[in-house]
Amino acid sequence: VSPQEREGEAAVGRGIRLPVFVLLLAVSPALAVATTGTKALALAAVILPVLMLASALQSLLGQGVSSGTRLVLHILLVGILVTAADFIFQALAPVLRRELGIYLQLTAASCVLLGQVSDPPERSAARSLAEACGLGLGAGLGLTAVACVREALGAGTITLRLGTLGGSLRLPWLAEHPATVAVQASGALLVVGLLMGLARWAGMKRSTS
């Protein structure tokens, strides 16, 4: 861990305790609907640009604003951007939009929480943009990974499709005996918990060896 990173963690830690759980809370509405790789990619495609644009606009508009007002501004910006994303989806991918339902709009809540983690006020504009990009990518990748595991176990397929790109894969045995728990909300928490435990265990092993 570099000193800068430790500093960043400390800054996060001052504002919000237990950022891991905040992150989990932030992505949980998205997890509820991310039952296929495609849906997760769509959500990631909302979260990443919204986070980055919100961060950039925040740096533009938020100069010299008090911290309480910053939060209001941030929520407003995210709300506007997610609504815009919703309209874009309705125009370009109405079927996917219908499948995602309310959860597309609910990503606003995720983005607000993620933005709070990524955006301590004293950061420079470039730094917080980079942070938002990293966080958006991380959340998107995490969502997609979890969704793929869930889809593989719960439906026996893995589909990753954005527009005309990508395709779907049918897993030989699992497709006939899908474990339906994996695509339910409880399955999402199970998979996330196991992945988090695995990541932490790997981290612990690295730090002890």
Residue of the chain from 45, 179, 189, 195 that contacts another protein (CB under 8 A):
179
Residue 36 carries which DSSP code? S
Q: Is residue 181 a contact residue for another protein (CB under 8 A)?
A: yes
For another protein, give the closer residue by CB, 170 or 200: 200
Cβ 161 to another protein shortest distance, Å: 26
Q: Is residue 166 a contact residue for another protein (CB under 8 A)?
A: no
Q: Is residue 141 a contact residue for another protein (CB under 8 A)?
A: no
Facing residues of 165 across strands?
A: 162
Q: Is residue 206 a contact residue for another protein (CB under 8 A)?
A: no
- Give the Cα separation of 209 and 196 in Å (integer): 20
For another protein, give the closer residue by CB, 44 or 182: 182
Residue of the chain from 43, 54, 109, 182 that contacts another protein (CB under 8 A):
182
Q: What is the enclosing helix (H) or strand (E) of 49?
A: helix 37-61
DSSP letters, 149-180, are HHHHHHHSEEEEEETTEEEEEE-TTTTTS--G
Nearest in space to 112 (alpha carbons), one of 135, 93, 130: 135
Which parts of this chain interact with another protein (CB under 8 A)?
177, 179-182, 184, 186-187, 194, 197
